[in-house]
């Protein structure tokens, strides 16, 4: 089972499609379990749509706020951002989607009708999903604040070698790598993009071990950097 959310969404969608009702019953699952899988898949995929839409909307709001606050007098009116989400929201389901999916995979592999060919079709060949390590789910927790005129970022490294810190600021639409860090505190000493104007900086990070990125991407934090 993949680690990243986008990759999990792709895997879950394929797993749901390939596990037809006929195959599910052959493997000892019930029609109700297949129905629940369909619902879980729809909700998780919609959660990814919401996440992408909210990120785009947040960028639009930041750009709007900066324009309203710091834009020159007399510029054309800028439309107020409106959150747009594609598609209808599915019926809600209980939390723990991938715990339920892991249980389905476990039951499938214990079925007398299970074969390696079926495992290949369903994309479940490999280590048992319930045996995934804590490393797969590890996620940096970032804290940021202004210290002596610079943004100071702190995190807890744990058993990892450090973090790859990414940043998005001002009118930038994408996160870019800021630095590869192996100390618990980092200072972002860059000047503001526009001299004399405040800016919002957003940060996120991934753990790394050796040359490999591990775990999940952190939640995004934002720090307001005042004008100098």
Domain finish residue from 132, 153, 179:
132
Number of H helices, E strands in the chain: 6, 8
Both 173 and 215 in a single domain? yes
**Structure pTM?**
0.56
Residues 83 and 178 in one domain: no
The reply to whether 217 and 149 lie within a common domain is yes
For residues 121 and 16, membership in a common domain is answered with yes
Residue position matching structure tokens 């592999």: 109
CATH code of the domain containing 196: 2.60.40.10
For residue 205, give the 3-state DSSP assignment. Answer: strand
Do 104 and 199 share a structural domain?
no
pLDDT (tens, 9 = 90+) of the chain, 228 residues, equals 666 778 889 999 999 999 999 999 999 999 999 999 999 999 999 999 888 888 888 888 888 888 887 777 776 677 888 888 778 899 999 999 999 999 999 999 999 999 999 999 999 986 444 444 556 678 899 999 999 999 999 998 888 999 999 999 988 988 999 999 999 999 999 999 998 999 999 999 999 988 788 888 999 999 999 987
Number of domains in the chain: 2
Are residues 128 and 140 located together in one domain of the fold?
no
Task: Sheet containing 143-147: give its strands across.
Answer: 143-147, 150-154, 185-188
Q: Which domain holds residue 165?
A: 136-225
């Amino acid at each position: 089972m993949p680690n990243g959310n986008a990759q999990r969404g792709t895997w879950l969608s394929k797993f749901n499609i390939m596990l037809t009702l006929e195959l599910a019953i052959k493997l000892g699952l019930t029609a109700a379990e297949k129905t629940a899988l369909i619902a879980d898949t729809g909700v998780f995929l919609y959660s990814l749509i919401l996440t992408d839409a909210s990120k785009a909307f947040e960028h639009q709001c930041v750009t709007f706020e900066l324009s309203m606050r710091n834009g020159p007098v007399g510029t054309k009116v800028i439309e107020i951002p409106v959150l747009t989400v594609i598609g209808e929201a599915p019926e809600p389901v209980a939390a723990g989607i991938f715990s339920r999916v892991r249980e389905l995979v476990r039951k499938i592999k214990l079925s007398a009708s299970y074969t390696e060919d079926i495992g290949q079709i369903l994309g479940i060949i490999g280590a048992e999903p319930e045996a995934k390590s804590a490393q797969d789910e590890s996620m940096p927790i970032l804290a940021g604040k202004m210290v002596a005129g610079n943004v100071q970022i702190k995190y807890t490294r744990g058993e990892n070698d450090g973090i790859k810190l990414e940043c998005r600021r001002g009118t930038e639409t994408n996160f870019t790598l800021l630095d590869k860090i192996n100390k618990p505190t980092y200072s972002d000493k860059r000047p503001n993009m526009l001299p004399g104007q405040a800016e919002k900086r957003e940060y996120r990070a991934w753990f790394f071990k050796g040359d490999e990125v591990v775990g999940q991407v952190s939640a995004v934090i934002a720090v307001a950097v005042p004008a100098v």
